[in-house]
Amino acid sequence: MRLRVLAVGTRMPDWVTQGVDEYLKRLPRDFSVDIIEITPGKRGKNADVDRAIQGEGDAMLAKLRDRERVIALDVEGRSWSTERLAANAEQWRQEGHDVACLVGGPDGLDPRLLARAEQRWSLSALTLPHPLVRILLAEQFYRAWTLLAGHPYHR
Ligand SMILES: C[S@@+](CC[C@H](N)C(=O)[O-])C[C@H]1O[C@@H](n2cnc3c(N)ncnc32)[C@H](O)[C@@H]1O
């Protein structure tokens, strides 16, 4: 199984990169998570936000692989417990599925990607900044792995 996080945003501040790496470096090769950065569309005084979202959507669609399961990170999605995430990950692993989790930019995900996603996953009812979403995902994937591995980190 290959897990990928496709996330809008480049040149993250050090605290974000360090926070993400802190958890991802602990994962074994057969449960590794790759972060794929998507260049944000242009925003500004005269820039069209819809066009920016569409450009980000085009870039994400181009990166998706055939047969990859698509999970959209969406505040309005379903909330998963860590146990649910671990069970999902175990099922993906057993079925040999690769998985892409999609994180939108400042204006959210392109509706085409929300439509393409098999599931929408909410991390909380709070709207979170996208850099924090990366760190939370990294920690929760690590926590899910520790749960499956019977490691004391999850207790
Ligand atoms: C700053 S938020 C975008 C807010 C935007 N108004 C929207 O409607 O999506 C950036 C991205 O972070 C992710 N995100 C933010 N809060 C989330 C939450 N509570 N659960 C899951 N994903 C979240 C989503 O992928 C979102 O597209």
**What is the residue extent of each domain of the chain?**
2-149
How far, in Å, is the centroid of ligand 1 from the Cα of 108?
6
Taking 90 as the threshold, does the pLDDT of residue 46 lie above it? no
Mean pLDDT of 86-98: 94
Instruction: Give residue 88's Cα distance to chain centre.
Output: 14
How far, in Å, is the centroid of ligand 1 from the Cα of 151?
30
> What distance, in Å, lies between the first and last C-alpha atoms of the chain?
25
For residue 1, what pLDDT is reported? Answer: 86
The response to whether residue 106 sits with its C-beta less than 6 Å from ligand 1 reads: yes
| Positions at the binding site | 73, 104, 123-128
Taking 80 as the threshold, does the pLDDT of residue 47 lie above it? no
The response to whether residue 137 sits with its C-beta less than 6 Å from ligand 1 reads: no
Give 39's pLDDT tier (boundaries 50, 70, 90).
Answer: very high
In DSSP terms, 105 is beta-bridged to 108
Give the ligand 1 atom nearest the CA of 109: 27
| Positions at the binding site for S-adenosyl-L-methionine | 73, 104, 123-128
For 50-72, the pLDDT digits (tens) are 999 999 999 999 999 998 999 99
Task: Please provide the CATH number assigned to the domain covering 2-149.
Answer: 3.40.1280.10
Taking 90 as the threshold, does the pLDDT of residue 15 lie above it? yes
Whole-model pTM: value is: 0.95
The response to whether residue 6 sits with its C-beta less than 6 Å from ligand 1 reads: no
For residue 101, what pLDDT is reported? Answer: 98
Taking 90 as the threshold, does the pLDDT of residue 73 lie above it? yes
Among the ranges given (47-51, 74-78, 95-99, 141-145), the one the predictor scored with the smallest mean pLDDT: 47-51
For 126-135, the pLDDT digits (tens) are 999 999 999 9
For residue 45, what pLDDT is reported? Answer: 77
135: helix, coil or strand? helix
Tell me the chain's radius of gyration from C-alpha atoms.
15
